Amino acid sequence: MPLPFIPIVIIGGAALLTGGGLTLNAQSKIKKAKAEHEATYSDYKVKYDNYTVYYAGTEKRLQEVGQVRADGMQAVREAIDFIRKARLVNPNIISDADFSIQDLESLDQAYGDILKILGGAGSSLAGGVGAGALTALGAHGAVAAFGTASTGAAIGSLSGAAASSATLAWFGGGALAAGGLGIAGGTAVLGGIVAAPAIIGFGVFRQVKAGQVQKEAAEKIRKIKVNEAEIGRDQAKLRAVRERCCEVQRAGHELTEQLKIALHNASPNIAEDVYRIVQIAKALRAVIDESVIPANQQSSTRSQRSNGSLTIKTCAVAGCRRQASVGRHCTGHRQS
Amino acid sequence: MVGQAAAFIGAQVIPPTISGIRDYFCAMQEENTKRQAIAANRDVLIVRITAEKEAILAYFSQRFAECRAALDEFFELLRHAVDSRDNHQLNVALAGILGIIQDNPLDDFETFKQQFHDPDYTIEI
């Protein structure tokens, strides 16, 4: 090769190598960003699916509360019949039990209201209740307020800029495969020298595009990770809803059972028996009326202290870290 | 000819090449900075949301645990009252059960959410 062409060849070759290297490197960055995004999204999908199952399970718990309410009102119905019998024997017997005609009518009304929720006066509580009605009986407020069940579709893919291009790889790789510098090659190299800035420019362009793809992937990954954290938080809220379901369910079930036992052993002629039935029926009705999920989210006065802070005190006994929001001793130390 | 080629290279090849390399480094730096900002913002958000989750879990599990223990006692008292037909015990049991059930811990959620983000608010557990 003539001597003057050597620097030309060297510069041309360097330009081609640099441009090709930049393009290949950009390609690798795009692939890596895409892979990281896909892996993050796959993990998120699993957590999201688990969350939707948990959400559905919470709605099931509400149905179970609805069933307890239906059972409770059935027992209240029997108590109403007992009280009416007692009134026939002694009209004053219910006022002795601290119970008025209006209270009796109110209980009757409550029973009628439950029947309406179930779909009309002809409905009955005795024959079992459908799922939709049970949820209506159980909810008193939407589970959705406590769990956002977010979707992940918008963050599941990167835009078209992330798609790999065979042409680009070819451009980066093919130029390196040129090889064979002869006179004809020298002409091509000379042409390549002219193209050298363009090749490097293209490589820089690909690097910039790769940077944009990396940024897009980082943004999507950010959204995915934040969604994941929000799902964790929403699941914690749903756990509290489940605890409340359990609380109302237990109270309703226990009062229903004790009302039935009391009715079984009671006589409408005995004032104390009537009193007992009336008190349990009133309490059961109050529990049935209680919401699991508050209809509005207004704070209760209980959570506000005079100094404006929400303080969850621990037990006054040294070393005990149990909560003592009622008084200054936890349940265990209060008993002793 | 060599001189012409050298002049050509000096004028048409080297400056754009240097400019391209400089642009590359600037663009890379810029994109890198943007990615770091995204990651930093993400981490701050995640830490905050996770802290809220942990506070919710701690507060409500303690609250419900105490309610559960108290309800167990009152249910026991209720059963005894119905068995022994003791209306005085019955009143105590029913008042206790209603007192717990009618105080819905979930009423605190909205307040909890608002106050959690208030730096002047104190949650002592």
Helix boundaries (H) for A90-144:
93-96, 101-118, 131-139
CA distance to partner chain B, nearest, from residue A29 (Å): 12
pLDDT of residue A258: 97
Q: Do A233 and B50 touch (CB under 8 A)?
A: yes
Q: Is the pLDDT of residue A263 over 70?
A: yes
Res. A171 pLDDT band, cuts 50 70 90: very low
User: Does residue A315 share a domain with residue A265?
Assistant: no
d(CA A149, CA A49): 10
Q: Domain of residue A72: give its range.
A: 5-298
The conformation of residue A160, written as its DSSP 8-state character, comes to G
Same domain, A105 and A140: yes
- The reply to whether A120 and A217 lie within a common domain is yes
Closest chain B residue to the Cα of A14, Cα to Cα? B17
Do residues A192 and A303 both lie within one domain?
no
* Of A103 and A59, the one with more pLDDT: A59
Chain-chain contact of A240 with B27 (C-beta, under 8 angstroms): no
Question: How does pLDDT run across A187-239, given as a tens digit for each residue?
Answer: 444 455 556 667 777 777 788 788 888 888 999 999 999 999 999 998 998 99
The reported pTM is 0.71
Report the pLDDT value the prediction gives residue A175, as an integer from 0 to 100: 33
CA A217 to CA A219: how far, in whole Å?
Answer: 5
Candidates A98, A221, A309, A336: best to mutate against B (most CBs of B within 10 A) is A309
**For residue range A311-326, what is the model confidence (pLDDT) as tens digits?**
334 556 655 655 454 4
Q: Are residue A233 and residue A328 in the same domain, yes or no? A: no
Q: Which residues of A touch B7 (CB under 8 A)?
A: none
Do residues A285 and A303 share a domain?
Answer: no
Q: Minimal Cα–Cα distance from B103 to chain A, Å?
A: 8
Look at the block and give the residue holding tokens 């409770």.
A72
Identify the pLDDT of residue A325: 47
- Are A239 and B39 within 8 A, CB to CB? no
In order, the DSSP letters of B61-85 are HHHHHHHHHHHHHHHHHHHHHHHHT
What confidence score (pLDDT) does residue A66 get? 87
Whether the per-residue pLDDT at A303 is higher than 80: the answer is: no
Is the pLDDT assigned to residue B86 strictly greater than 90?
A: yes
Domain count along chain A: 2
pLDDT at residue B7, rounded to an integer: 79
Verify that A317 and A327 share a domain, yes or no.
Answer: yes
Q: Is B4 in the A-facing interface, judged by CB distances under 8 Å? A: no
How many residues are listed for chain B in this entry?
A: 125
Average pLDDT of span A238-254: 94
Query: How far is residue B73's CA from residue B62's CA, in Å, rounded to a whole number?
Result: 17
Average pLDDT, chain A: 72
CB pair distance less than 8 Å for A325 and B45: no
Q: Which of residues 10-39 of B touch A (CB under 8 A)?
A: 12-13, 16-17, 20-21, 23-24, 27-28, 30-32, 34-35, 38-39
On chain B, the residues whose CB falls within 8 A of the CB of A4 are 1-2, 5
Residues paired with residue A323 on neighbouring β-strands, in sequence order: A314
- Measured CA to CA in angstroms, residue A82 lies from A68, A95, A273 at distances of 21, 15, 10
**Minimum-distance CB partner of B20 among A204, A219, A226:** A204
Q: For residue A295, what is the nearest residue in chain B, using CA coordinates?
A: B107
Find the closest chain B residue to A146 by CA distance. B109
This model of the complex carries an ipTM of 0.79
- Least confidently predicted of A296-300, B2-6, B106-110: A296-300
**String of DSSP letters for A218-285:** HHHHHHHHHHHHHHHHHHHHHHHHHHHHHHHHHHHHHHHHHHHHHHHH--TT-HHHHHHHHHHHHHHH
Predicted confidence (pLDDT) at residue A299 exceeds the cutoff of 50? no
Tokens of A222: 């950010």
Residue B107, pLDDT score: 81
Question: Residues A279, A310: one domain?
Answer: no
Phi/psi of residue A39, nearest 5 degrees:
-65, -45
Query: A321 and A231, same structural domain?
Result: no
Specify the 3-state DSSP secondary structure of A125.
coil
**Span A126-149, mean pLDDT?**
57
Q: Supply the mean pLDDT for chain B.
A: 84
* SS3 state of residue A288: helix
Domain regions of chain B by residue span: 2-116
Q: Is the pLDDT of residue A307 over 50?
A: no
End-to-end CA distance of chain A: 103
Tell me: pLDDT of A149 over 80.
no
Is residue A306 predicted with pLDDT exceeding 90?
no
Confidence (pLDDT) at B38? 86
Are residue A176 and residue A322 in the same domain, yes or no? Answer: no
- CA-based nearest distance A19→chain B, Å: 10
pLDDT of residue A95: 72
